[in-house]
């Protein structure tokens, strides 16, 4: 048995970017920041912020594009995916992303788009490829 599950609560670093695959499926991409605060052994407050690249497929991705904005707090449940690509100079680059199965819009932060309400949209398995990673032909960026 193995488990690949991630749960994050953080704030959007920029507005979601929504694109569509050749087959018409929506895919939203946005970064969220999570912060960890602790006191070091001298009692000084320390803080570390981690950035996570979020990918949301299907209707849920469309909803993210409509209702989320920079600064908005979200709950994300998903799995880690690593992929590689060749950049413009031919160098191989590696990316770690969170493919969301569930995104819940929380209060707080920016979120000036259309509504400032709490909303949750379950992942559409048919739109998201049934939990399978998309092929290179399906990824529009």
pLDDT for 110: 58
* Beta bridge partner(s), residue 19: 27
The percentage of the chain sitting over the pLDDT mark of 70, rounded to a whole number, equals 76
Contact 68, 108 (CB under 8 A): no
Query: Which residues lie below 8 Å from residue 64, measured CB to CB, with a gap of 6+?
Result: 16, 18, 28, 30, 56, 103, 121
Selected residue with higher pLDDT from 126 and 64: 64
The answer on pLDDT for 124 being more than 70 is no
The predicted model gives 5-26 an average pLDDT of 97
Q: What's 18's DSSP letter?
A: E
Q: What is the average pLDDT value for the chain, to the nearest integer? A: 85
Give the pLDDT confidence of 43-77 residue by residue, as tens digits: 999 999 999 999 999 999 999 999 999 999 999 99
Distances in Å between the Cα of 44 and the Cα atoms of 37, 47, 92, 110, 121 are 10, 10, 40, 30, 40
Please check whether residue 52 is in contact with residue 8, taking contact to mean a CB–CB distance below 8 angstroms: yes
Residue 127 has what DSSP assignment? H
Q: Is the pLDDT of residue 114 over 50?
A: no
A 10 A CB-CB count for 34 gives 14
**How much is the average pLDDT of 107-112?**
59
**Which structural domains are found in the chain, ordered by start?**
6-128 (2.40.50.140)
82, 96 contact by CB (below 8 A) = yes
Cα 13 → chain centroid: 11
Among 72-76, 87-91, 118-122, name the one with the lowest average pLDDT: 118-122
Is 90 exceeded by the pLDDT of residue 39? yes
Residue 35 reports pLDDT greater than 60: yes
Mean pLDDT (whole number) for 68-89:
97
């Amino acid at each position: 048995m193995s488990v690949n599950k991630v749960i994050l609560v953080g704030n959007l670093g920029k507005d979601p970017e929504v694109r569509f695959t050749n087959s018409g499926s929506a895919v939203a991409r946005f970064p969220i920041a999570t912060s960890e605060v602790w006191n070091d052994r001298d009692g000084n407050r320390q803080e570390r912020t981690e950035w996570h690249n979020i990918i949301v497929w299907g209707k849920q991705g469309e909803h993210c594009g409509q209702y989320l904005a920079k600064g908005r707090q979200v709950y994300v449940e998903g799995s880690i995916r690593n992929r590689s690509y060749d950049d413009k100079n031919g160098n191989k680059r590696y990316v770690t992303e969170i493919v969301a199965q569930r995104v819940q819009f929380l209060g707080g932060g920016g979120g000036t788009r259309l509504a400032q309400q709490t909303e949750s949209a379950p992942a559409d398995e048919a739109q998201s490829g049934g939990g399978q990673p998309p092929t290179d032909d399906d990824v529009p960026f």
